[in-house]
Amino acid sequence: MSSLELSVVVPIVERSEELLQLNAAYLKNIAACSEAYEVIYVLDRCADSVEKMIDTTISNNRSCKKIRLPKFFGDATALSTGLSASSGSNILILTPYGQIAPEEIPNVIAGLAEHDVVIAQRIRTGEPWFNRVQAKAFSFLANSVVVDLGIADVTCEVRALRRRVTEEIDLYGDMNRFLPQLAYRLGFNIGAVAVKPAHTDRSLKVYAPGTYMRRLLDILTALFLIRFTKKPLRFFGFVGATTFLMGALVLSWVTFERLAYGVQLGDRPGLFLGALGIVLGLQIVAVGLVGEIIIFSHAKDLPEYRVAEVIEYQKNTRQ
């Protein structure tokens, strides 16, 4: 067992300037939670001023260390690197920009007394209406499409988790945003703690259209990985069967018109659309069948559960 009670991982990717003001408050509240702790800064991309501040922090605090990645890899890689380098029995993930008030850190960590993963759920009052709408929209899609955790603010990336969670979850791409959903899939207990947002978190946030598109694709990816990893035919079969049925209906209609009313088929777009739907539907179903064969061949290497506890009883027998 590790002698450290708490490991704090701060993946620094792009938005890092706020860390100059947040770092001292972070360290103060972390120290108030545990005497045996470590803070790991993972530098994937950050300003030179932020790196100098981190170097100063490390030189003055033996509980801090820095990991620099050789090039830009993204949020999930930076987080995975920090989690792999951590050694505490509990882990706290913080952002280099303000999402929650630093004084709420002890409350988030305290949530691990009842849960395996704790999400900081911000009380989003006093924010611009557009911020609240887009946060609720993402949370609604994540809860309704992927996994319903019953948590209203799944966009907050400040989380606390037990070490055994990190040992059973693999992160890649942008799946770090869906870490609670991935943990829930394996049977871990997920909870939320209401916290005050950081004062800098109240500014208007409008992202590029490509960002919103990536978020939708991330939700679709999480849906497939969490719900259909071991049963791909259910996903591809549903899509393929729907496409096949639509093509068959269109083709049946144009065929009926040809037989009943003598309408020519040669110049009818419906003929080509119907045939295309049938062929495309069959191909999609075939992809699902190939996926099922691959999963069947490797199912023993893809556990989708965890053992929470093993209890053995020994019966004393008299000779």
Neighbours of 189 (CB within 10 A): 14
pLDDT one-digit tens code per residue, 248-305: 999 999 888 888 887 787 778 888 899 999 999 999 999 988 888 877 776 556 556 5
pLDDT under 70: residue ranges of the chain: 1-3, 173, 298-309, 314-319
pLDDT one-digit tens code per residue, 111-141: 999 999 999 998 877 778 888 888 888 888 8
Burial 284-308 (b: 16+ CB within 10 A, else e): bbebbeebbeebeeeeeeeeeeeee
Burial 212-235 (b: 16+ CB within 10 A, else e): eeebeebbeebbebbbbeeebbeb
**Confidence (pLDDT) at 225:** 78
Contact in structure between 116 and 189 (CB atoms under 8 Å): yes
Rounded Cα gap, residues 215 and 155, in angstroms: 11
